[in-house]
Structure 1
């Protein structure tokens, strides 16, 4: 069951007393608690389909607010270990992308064309961003909540979590249409480099949280696998820029 851990401005016991009847009566919340002794004044909320937006609306009714999404604990019963089966959806998607890109390139060669590494990478990047944005957009609010828990930009400006999947979708379309290639490669390099910073920080801090790279449909733990995935996209974007200018 999903658990949200939120940094709030609940300062004292009176604040907790004030929110108690509202949270006790709220539909969709099965359990909640507030730790006003912690530096982050952590509010923990559990529910089958609970989202940051729902909790935020309840707090705003009482003149309180969410300062950040922490979510550094997995929900009970969810494993966040580096088990191959945990990453099966991610590996499967990447295998499909690699296989599909190679088949497209083989088709080009079969019809009389020559091997083209740039075209191969462009097809892979197009598929990557289109597929990954699709899974994020299945539940945009849930993705934004999870993304805010570790991304350095979304943590400061939460709207970036809502915008990010659309940026990925735009990049996917640009790669597919070969539209403004240099600008597309440069934006990819910037976006993925910044995104990887939060991932690296989270892994180095040994925080056990869900990776939102495939949205919140799958329970993918944040680990070195996620770092490799992000840095692979950074390297490919940098390589395509170098090949274009070289």
Structure 2
């Protein structure tokens, strides 16, 4: 459909994919609602675009991807892509900050900045839809089940700890906050996944994620505990 105020994004994707596969494209535009309705009725379909290859109807954009053997995300499909994206961006941010400051890239401080940046990004994703996050979080967090407001407070505590870690300030506050929420989170995930054997979705990247609860969420919490210990030692002058 190519209409005033609307150009079908799936049509653009389908055309791009066909050309990428080396096919010549005869692109028929549906310019009005009447043309669109007539096209659907003529071919007995409910949506556009529709792709035909050598006279045989393939279907819409997702059907075209399947035709070429490409992955099509199914409803409810689990994926680790959001977490990989968060950790990759956090690492790049941490490295960029040290590079800009003229500091060595390979160091314990790089790891600390990476963990802090990861916490900030993960907290941001949770805060995008606090209601959805808190609902999913209540499925497995032991403390939140006893005190529901904790489910709403958790992302703010994670964000506070991450920001203060990046600034290097307020370690007297960072250490107990990170140690507390990290320990409670780790115990909760271990209990739900490895003791009770429950198949749940992880709220670590927000309430709408399809990331399985398990290793990723456990890692997030253990990173916070590890950072709390490391910064506690620095605060005590041991490191």
TM-score after normalising by structure 1? 0.59
Task: Give the alignment partner of residue 200 of structure 2, picking from 209, 215, 227.
Answer: 209
Please state whether the residue corresponding to 2:205 is helix, strand or coil. Answer: strand
For 1:192, the equivalent position in structure 2 comes to 182
Could you tell me which runs of 5 or more consecutive residues in structure 1 were left unpaired when the two chains were aligned: 1-75, 81-85
For 2:88, the equivalent position in structure 1 comes to 95
Question: Does the 8 A contact of 1:136 with 1:165 survive in 2?
Answer: yes
Larger Rg: 1 or 2? 2
Aligned Cα root-mean-square deviation (Å)? 2.3
For 1:137, the equivalent position in structure 2 comes to 127
Question: Does the 8 A contact of 1:97 with 1:124 survive in 2?
Answer: yes
For 1:105, the equivalent position in structure 2 comes to 98
For 2:8, the equivalent position in structure 1 comes to none
- Specify which structure has the higher proportion of strand: 1
1:177 and 1:141 map into 2 onto residues whose CA distance is 29
5 Å matches for 1:1-246? 77-80=75-78, 86-109=79-102, 113=103, 117=107, 119-204=109-194, 205-245=196-236, 246=238
1:177 and 1:95 map into 2 onto residues whose CA distance is 21
Deviation, 1:115, is 6.5
1:240 and 1:93 map into 2 onto residues whose CA distance is 23
Deviation, 1:146, is 0.8
Q: Give the length in aligned residue pairs.
A: 163
Highest RCO, 1 vs 2 (Cα 8 Å, sep ≥ 6): 1
Distance 1:118 1:182, change over 3 A: farther
Deviation, 1:173, is 2.6
Distance 1:143 1:159, change over 3 A: same
Deviation, 1:101, is 0.9
Question: Does the 8 A contact of 1:140 with 1:162 survive in 2?
Answer: yes
Question: Does the 8 A contact of 1:148 with 1:154 survive in 2?
Answer: yes
Give CA-to-partner distance per residue, 1:113-150, whole Å, 9 cap, x none.
56684643443233222211111111111111111110
Give CA-to-partner distance per residue, 1:212-231, whole Å, 9 cap, x none.
00112321111223222321
Give CA-to-partner distance per residue, 1:32-59, whole Å, 9 cap, x none.
xxxxxxxxxxxxxxxxxxxxxxxxxxxx
